[in-house]
Amino acid sequence: MERLVAEIRIEGLTRYFGGVRAVDDVSLDIADGDFLVLLGPSGCGKTTLLRMIAGLLEPSGGRIMLGDRDITHLPARQRDLAMVFQSYALYPHLTVERNIGFPLRAARRPRAEIARQVRDVADQLELGELLGRRPRELSGGQRQRVALGRALVRDPAAFLMDEPLSNLDAKLRTATRTELTALHRTLRRTFVYVTHDQVEAMSMATRVVLLNGGRVEQAGTPTEVYDSPASVFVAGFLGAPPMNLLPARIENHGGTLTAVAEGLRIPLWPGASEPRDVIVGLRPENAFQLTAAGAGAPVGTASPAGAGARTSAAGPAPGIHGVVTTVENLGSEEVAWCDVGGQAVALRGPRPLGLTVGEHAHLTVNVSRVHLFDRASGRRLE
């Protein structure tokens, strides 16, 4: 079958609701075959953006191109894009078979072709046993798959999905996630997928677009947005627990640029930044050396006289000094929380971390894993 070009180009797309700028001058290139995830907190404009792409909402400004066609004002049904709704929108009185085949019957395709395609789609989505049932006789997850099947059978240029997994229980959500990733790989179609769930985004996306207040905060591969967050917003949105974000000041200590705050002293790489107010970003799982520290002392062991015991002429020993307040057992891993100058700092690693509630901990920081953000703008420095 002839494949339509499914590159979607969004240019300066904007949508107001009264005084609210739900989507604010968004430009994006969605490549053919991308699994693009629109990610962000509630109210950041994900659904509004998706609905404009789908043709369900008129933009206040900007343009949407599908290949070289301007589809900005085209009715939804002429866009060759299939929207899969969270609320499923299945016909309650029709069987699974007829729900899936509905778009083909509407397009008056031959009966044998409809039967074959419905069977194909039902096989792919493991719905073969359920073809005779009606939506009320299905679980949430099964209804979800029927909704997907109904989109799939139309063979659209791209699938648009708005939180399609949010009504599923945790186990089924994980399974359906894997299924969707596999489906994307098999179909090689463009998926545009809305979620506020970072795990869904990180595990399925080829590209993630982080939205904040209707604007694109960062677009990149899951690895890029996780490893090089463009802003404090992105850094604090991703990760479990998210990146520790600690206000500090960069000072020049005898030629060494050093990030300094109460309980924190991290010598930085040459040229890291001029002296200024920053936010230091430390991922709980990789910013701390959890094995032996430089001198061979186990990191995280109690320092009998507290942080002061390690103080040298230049100030406290490099790293972070705090008091362990909580240790959470996650099964294979642990998360420990330390109070560092009144701020909660999380670290995460294989269990046991060797930290005990109430002890003074000196944490050695892996300087290659330090992220710096300008405190005023929140943007990444580098």
Contact segment (CB under 6 A) with ligand ATP among 44-52, 176-184, 286-294, 307-315 equals: 44-52
- Site for ligand ATP, residues 48 to 67, rule: CB under 6 A: 48
Residue 181 exposed, middle or buried by CB count within 10 Å (0-12, 13-18, 19+) = middle
Contact segment (CB under 6 A) with ligand ATP among 40-48, 92-100, 135-143, 280-288 equals: 40-48
Nearest approach, Cβ of 47 to ligand ATP (angstroms)? 3
User: Is residue 212 a contact residue for ligand ATP (CB under 6 A)?
Assistant: no
Nearest approach, Cβ of 64 to ligand ATP (angstroms)? 16
Among 8, 36, 44, 299, binds ligand ATP (CB under 6 A): 44
Element (H, E) at 184: helix 170-187
Number of residues that bind ligand ATP (CB under 6 A): 12
Residue 306 exposed, middle or buried by CB count within 10 Å (0-12, 13-18, 19+) = middle
User: Is residue 22 a contact residue for ligand ATP (CB under 6 A)?
Assistant: yes
Nearest approach, Cβ of 190 to ligand ATP (angstroms)? 20
Contact 60, 14 (CB under 8 A): yes
User: Is residue 196 a contact residue for ligand ATP (CB under 6 A)?
Assistant: yes
- Distance separating alpha carbons of residues 134 and 114, to the nearest angstrom: 19
Q: Which residues pair with 323 in a beta bridge?
A: 339, 360
Nearest approach, Cβ of 175 to ligand ATP (angstroms)? 23
Residue 360 exposed, middle or buried by CB count within 10 Å (0-12, 13-18, 19+) = buried
Nearer to ligand ATP, 46 or 207 (CB): 46
Q: Which residue has the tokens 């040298």?
A: 312
For residue 273, CA distances in Å to 10, 258, 277, 315 come to: 35, 10, 10, 21
Q: Which residue has the tokens 């900007």?
A: 62
Contact segment (CB under 6 A) with ligand ATP among 45-53, 59-67, 165-173, 363-371 equals: 45-53
Q: Kindly report the length of the chain.
A: 382
Among 20, 182, 330, 376, binds ligand ATP (CB under 6 A): 20
Reading the block at residue 106, the tokens are 């509407």
Q: How many CA atoms lie within 13 A of 294 on its CB side?
A: 10
Among 28, 47, 226, 283, binds ligand ATP (CB under 6 A): 47
Q: Write the single-letter amino acid at 281.
A: G
Instruction: Assign 379 to helix, strand or coil.
Output: strand
User: Is residue 17 a contact residue for ligand ATP (CB under 6 A)?
Assistant: yes
Reading the block at residue 96, the tokens are 């699974």
Nearer to ligand ATP, 47 or 244 (CB): 47
Nearer to ligand ATP, 44 or 372 (CB): 44
Nearest approach, Cβ of 170 to ligand ATP (angstroms)? 19
User: Is residue 45 a contact residue for ligand ATP (CB under 6 A)?
Assistant: yes
Contact segment (CB under 6 A) with ligand ATP among 35-43, 110-118, 129-137, 247-255 equals: 35-43
User: Is residue 87 a contact residue for ligand ATP (CB under 6 A)?
Assistant: no
Q: Residue 276 CA to chain centroid, in angstroms?
A: 30
**Where do contacts with ligand ATP occur on this chain (CB under 6 A)?**
17, 20, 22, 40, 42-48, 196
